[in-house]
Amino acid sequence: MEEQLNDLEKKWSEMLKNVTAPNIDEIDKQCIYRVPTNIRKHNPKAYTPQIVSIGPYHHNGIKPTGLKLKYVKAFLDRKKLSEKVLFAKIKEICKNTNSIRSCYAETIECNDVDLLTMIFVDAFFIIELFLRWREPHVWEEKDHIMLKPWMRLGIKHDLMLLENQLPFSVLEQLYNLTNEPLPNTNEPLLGTTNESFRGTTNESLRVTPSFFKMCVNCIGTGTNCFNCMRTKEPLIGTNETLTGTNEPNFRQICFNCLKSTSFESECPAESPKHFTDLLRSSIISLSKINHGNQNEREEDIKHVYSASQLMEAGLEFKVSPNKSFLDLELSEDDRVLSMPILNINASTQLYFKNMIAYERSHHSATKIITQYVAILYFLIKTEKDLNILVDKKIIVNWSGDAENVVTIINNLGSSMSMPDFIPYYCSICTRLNKFYENPLNKYKAIFIHDYFNTPWKKASTIAAIVLLFLTFIQTVCSIMSVVQSKK
């Protein structure tokens, strides 16, 4: 027995020898996570890159091609940077590999050289990609990605995936380190104007845009996503004006390159953690409601009646002029629910799923997107519920298939745990439930549902009422004739 205890003690010591206590600072830096298996299994493709892998999590998942390296080489040629000059610029970043590793919640099983090689290749690929997306008139006929719209859309989707991210701070550092004045060249590089976009040039207005805003708009579709970088108007979400001396930052370039046409958004004031956080924070930045803070108590809501139930009880749905889809409003008499427009297309589910996964994983993220999707899930259970919101122009269905949209919303709701709600949303949900449960409204809803729910029910109910009325008239006439005959 004593020998067994000695073996146990030895094994125990060996097991704990290299284990260190959790570093709180490193935990605070974590921002790039793997999606939990129980969520991922519902739709693995929504979290897995299909065309281009970024960062360590899916580095071996997609066979590498020469595309990334071609873009990296093009970026260095664009900047007139030799390998020697490049590494002289990025040596400070090379000293901070632990800081890069701490951004990832999972342990990265590769040495520092391999990690930095991966980071630099992916980062310069992204920067060159965004610069080309800003210059469609230059690259649309000779760029491999520009020639294939499906590939561009697929890459945009891949760049928004939570598991497919680089720390934004690293991207920003690399962009700023290499963003030096360029020699004159006939090829438009970083800055253009409204005039050059229309086919004329004005070199006095050439600027270097910020990477941050360029990123958000490049995920938009069509050439309109480049307009804010080609005008002398203030940049979206900032007070900056495009002049010959004012250089917007990397954050603004990213915003312009990654902005989604699915949602209204504006450039957030603070740099995000990564591109998934950029999408989320650009949506939240546009919202006018009080999202609360970590000291405010959030409340649990288990259920809200569906749109059709609420409408049958007398609630009116109305499209709101607010730009942010988060800004729901319920009238003071609880009879009108105003909802801003929400566009639902092929990208919507992917974006929502990854933002929800980020909010679930990140300790300091207010789960505001998750809460909105939960309310949408409560309201839309059937095609009838969806059609109510479509008819009111609250939901714009770009997929064309109502059943598919209902499935998307139900999948979003069923694959997430119900969040605690901020006081603003909690108040709306509670008041909606009380409105329906008011006896007068409830019985009205039951009556409408039972007797006027379908055209056939409506026709038969009206016919029965007319028949009852005619029977009543006939009875009255019979009584009157009997009374008159007795006289």
> Which pLDDT belongs to residue 475?
84
What does the alpha-carbon distance between residue 405 and residue 386 come to, in Å, rounded to a whole number?
Answer: 8
Looking at the predicted structure, is the pLDDT value of residue 433 above 90?
yes
What does the alpha-carbon distance between residue 398 and residue 401 come to, in Å, rounded to a whole number?
Answer: 8
pLDDT tier at 293, thresholds 50, 70, 90: low
Least confident of 198-212, 282-296, 366-380: 198-212
Bridge partners (DSSP) of residue 104 are: 32
Query: Which tokens hold the place of 254?
Result: 């990213």
> Which pLDDT belongs to residue 331?
94
Q: What percent of the chain is predicted at pLDDT more than 90?
A: 34
> Which pLDDT belongs to residue 13?
83
> Which pLDDT belongs to residue 218?
63
> Per residue in 323-362, pLDDT tens?
899 999 999 999 999 999 999 988 899 999 999 999 999 9
| Amino acid sitting at position 178 | T
- 441 or 275, greater pLDDT: 275
Rg (CA), the chain: 29
What does the alpha-carbon distance between residue 253 and residue 242 come to, in Å, rounded to a whole number?
Answer: 13
Q: What is the mean pLDDT of the chain?
A: 79
What value does the mean pLDDT take over residues 8-13? 83
Whether the CB-CB separation of 410 and 387 falls below 8 Å is answered with no
Q: Nearest Cα to 31, choosing from 78, 101, 90, 129? A: 101
Q: What residues does each domain of the chain span?
A: 30-286, 299-448, 455-486
- 450 or 365, greater pLDDT: 365
Left if phi > 0, otherwise alpha if psi is -120 to 50, otherwise beta: which for 393?
Answer: left
Whether the CB-CB separation of 360 and 367 falls below 8 Å is answered with yes
What does the alpha-carbon distance between residue 458 and residue 453 come to, in Å, rounded to a whole number?
Answer: 7
pLDDT tier at 405, thresholds 50, 70, 90: very high
Bridge partners (DSSP) of residue 297 are: none
- 228 or 140, greater pLDDT: 140
Looking at the predicted structure, is the pLDDT value of residue 376 above 90?
yes
> Which pLDDT belongs to residue 339?
96
> Which pLDDT belongs to residue 133?
82
Looking at the predicted structure, is the pLDDT value of residue 387 above 70?
yes
Q: Nearest Cα to 265, choosing from 232, 217, 299? A: 217
> Per residue in 21-68, pLDDT tens?
666 666 678 999 999 988 888 889 999 999 999 999 998 766 656 888
pTM for the model: 0.77
> Which pLDDT belongs to residue 25?
61
pLDDT tier at 452, thresholds 50, 70, 90: low
Rounding to the nearest 10 degrees, give the CA dihedral for residues 56, 57, 60, 63. Answer: -90
Looking at the predicted structure, is the pLDDT value of residue 426 above 90?
yes
> Which pLDDT belongs to residue 190?
34
Residue whose structure tokens are 């549902």: 449
What does the alpha-carbon distance between residue 165 and residue 216 come to, in Å, rounded to a whole number?
Answer: 15
What value does the mean pLDDT take over residues 130-142? 80
Looking at the predicted structure, is the pLDDT value of residue 73 above 70?
yes
What does the alpha-carbon distance between residue 236 and residue 255 come to, in Å, rounded to a whole number?
Answer: 9
3-state secondary structure 379-403: HCCCHHHHHHHHHCCCEEECCCCHH
> Which pLDDT belongs to residue 83?
79
Looking at the predicted structure, is the pLDDT value of residue 183 above 50?
no
Bridge partners (DSSP) of residue 255 are: 213
